[in-house]
Amino acid sequence: MKNLIEEIKQDIRDLRDSYFHFCPFEMAEQIGETRKDKIKYFEDWLDRYSECTCGDFDSVIDKLEKVEKELNYNSKEERLLYEQL
């Protein structure tokens, strides 16, 4: 189960970092300091028309990590109960 959760988390990271996912912050970093007039226009456009969804991907990863912790906690409890028998 732990391996499956890790695979799913990696799949989500791959989707977040894929070519079709648009991150305005990453795009701004790629432009860099060249042509400041274009950068200002681009930043204004990003603020108005696009939202970064990286956090959406990361929140799903966070939920999977909670599941993973819960599974680890439950398996420890089960081991302790088994050892007491």
Share of the chain above pLDDT 70, in %: 62
The per-residue pLDDT for range 49-81, each reduced to its tens digit, is: 667 778 888 999 999 999 988 888 877 777 676
pTM for the model: 0.59
Contact (Cβ atoms closer than 8 angstroms) between residue 21 and residue 53? yes
CA atoms of 30 and 18, how far apart (whole Å): 15
Helical (H) or strand (E) element with 50: none
Question: What is the extent of the structural domain holding 11?
Answer: 2-84
Pick from 75, 72, 51, 61: nearest CA to 15 = 61
Split into its structural domains, the chain has a count of 1
Structure tokens at 80: 């302790």
